[in-house]
């Protein structure tokens, strides 16, 4: 059957693009036809930003053209457009990433609760994330309307435990926790080929600019006796190697070949786990690390996170603390198996639902 995937597939963000790819790939591997519903968040940066980020956008577009081969015939820019001309699918799937985060989806939030299309279309979530520990509410859709929208869903599969709590306590709907779609695949050799040799580098991937982080990371790399490279960022930091902008594939290669990873990124954490890279999570704002905390609780690695006020001694100590990768692999394998079974079950009914 045709599964329409509604996620952040058009954003020039490495994690968002790779989770969209991983979901698309998983649907195909389960024997269905994935189709990305081409809903795009508003993109209207000033001219200077367009010029500065033109090469990055071009490289992301090359990736999307190669790997996102099936998109909805219509490109949508609003909830009204989706309701007026809904994509023709057997099933709508929303997720993963933070598709239910009101601060990111903004006025498009009702779309990500699938408030369009006929009742006969099956509706599910997969690894849908809110990315917050408390629900802030939304001007675009009320809590009661969200609850009504969720009545139309056949299956709710969410990513972090805090999203499970919000869905139950605020919207009145139980849900099941599943793994991020990137974890559904054991490796990404289909993107990067055979795992590259070690680069002998410490990789720093920081989403939120933080001078304290860069100082601590540089000191940690010095004490490890390794060069440090900033990836995924246009910032030029004294003492750091830099290559910008990496293609999506090269971004994955950086993690696969790293000696150590220092980051505040959820998907940076995911790829560190997949490629067995000792990592440290640093965040200056505990509210922004909800998704990572949830994942690391699942794999019993919560002690890899440090917060504002930590020192480079803390970062160095954690970086040097060994990880039992055998146990991690077993835990992730179990998560992967359960999550694929849940997704397969959610997609199992290939017949359209009958309306009352």
Per-residue pLDDT reduced to its tens digit, 227-260: 999 999 888 899 999 988 999 999 999 999 999 9
Query: Same domain, yes or no, for 48 and 180?
Result: yes
Q: Is residue 28 part of a domain?
A: yes
Q: Is the pLDDT of residue 356 over 70?
A: no
CA-to-CA distance for 30 and 243, rounded, in angstroms? 37
* pTM for the full predicted model: 0.94
**Is 317 a member of any domain?**
yes
Residue 342 counted as domain residue: no
pLDDT at 349: 54
Which of the pair, 30 or 96, is modelled with greater confidence?
30
Other Cβ atoms closer than 10 A to 84: 11
Cα–Cα dist 255/250, whole Å: 9
- Separation of CA 324 from chain center: 25
Q: Please tell me which residue, 96 or 129, carries the higher pLDDT value.
A: 129
Write the DSSP assignment of 283-311 as a string of letters. Answer: ES-GGG-HHHHHHHHHTT-GGGEEETT--
C-alpha triplet 146, 152, 153: angle, nearest 5°: 90
Q: How far apart are CA 349 and CA 306, in angstroms?
A: 44
Indicate which CATH number applies to the domain containing 210. 3.40.50.2000
Q: Which pLDDT value is given to residue 355?
A: 38
Range of the domain at 136: 2-185
- Please compute the mean of the pLDDT values over residues 144-172 and round it to a whole number: 98
Residues 10 and 130 in one domain: yes
Place of tokens 């933080």: 210
Q: Does the pLDDT at position 288 exceed 80? A: no
Read off the tokens for 79.
């909830």
Q: What is the mean pLDDT of residues 288-292?
A: 90
- CATH number of the domain encompassing residue 19: 3.40.50
DSSP per residue over 48-72, as a string? HHHHHTHHHHHHHHHHHHHH---B-
Query: Are 139 and 165 in the same domain?
Result: yes
- Tell me what percent of the residues of the chain surpass a pLDDT of 70: 98
User: Would residue 349 count as lying in a domain?
Assistant: no
346 inside domain: no
Let me know: does 233 contact 56? Beta carbons within 8 Å: no
Same domain, yes or no, for 173 and 202?
A: no
Check pLDDT > 50 for residue 129. yes
Query: CA-to-CA distance for 337 and 135, rounded, in angstroms?
Result: 30
Query: How many domains is the chain built from?
Result: 2
């Amino acid at each position: 059957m045709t599964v329409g995937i509604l996620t952040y597939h058009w954003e020039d963000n490495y994690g968002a693009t790779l989770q969209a790819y991983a979901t698309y790939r998983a649907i195909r591997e389960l024997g269905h036809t994935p189709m990305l519903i081409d809903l795009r968040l508003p993109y209207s940066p000033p001219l200077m930003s367009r010029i500065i980020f033109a090469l990055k956008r071009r490289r992301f577009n090359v990736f999307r053209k190669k790997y996102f081969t099936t998109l909805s015939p219509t490109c949508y820019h609003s909830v009204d457009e989706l309701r007026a001309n809904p994509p023709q699918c057997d099933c709508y799937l929303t997720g993963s990433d933070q598709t239910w985060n009101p601060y990111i989806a903004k006025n498009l939030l009702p779309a990500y609760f699938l408030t369009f299309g006929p009742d006969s279309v099956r509706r599910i979530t997969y690894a849908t994330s809110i990315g917050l520990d408390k629900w802030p509410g939304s001007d675009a859709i009320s809590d009661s309307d969200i609850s009504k929208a969720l009545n139309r869903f056949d299956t709710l599969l969410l990513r972090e435990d805090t999203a499970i709590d919000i869905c139950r306590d605020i919207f009145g709907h139980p849900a099941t926790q599943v793994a991020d779609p990137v974890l559904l695949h054991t490796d990404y050799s289909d993107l990067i080929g055979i795992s590259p040799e070690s680069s002998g580098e410490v990789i720093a991937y920081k989403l939120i600019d933080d001078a304290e982080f860069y100082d601590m990371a540089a000191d940690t790399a010095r004490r490890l006796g390794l060069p440090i490279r900033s990836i995924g960022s246009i910032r030029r930091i004294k003492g750091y190697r830099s290559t910008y902008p990496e293609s999506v594939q090269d971004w994955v290669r950086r993690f696969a070949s790293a000696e150590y990873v220092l980051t505040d990124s959820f998907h940076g954490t995911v790829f560190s786990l997949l490629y067995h890279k000792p990592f440290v999570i640093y965040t200056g704002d505990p509210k922004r690390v909800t998704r990572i905390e949830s994942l690391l609780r699942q794999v019993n690695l919560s002690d890899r996170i440090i917060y504002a006020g930590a020192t480079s001694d803390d970062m160095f100590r954690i970086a040097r603390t060994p990880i039992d990768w055998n146990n991690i692999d077993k835990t992730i394998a179990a998560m992967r198996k359960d999550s694929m079974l849940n997704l397969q079950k959610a997609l199992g009914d290939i017949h359209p639902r009958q309306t009352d």
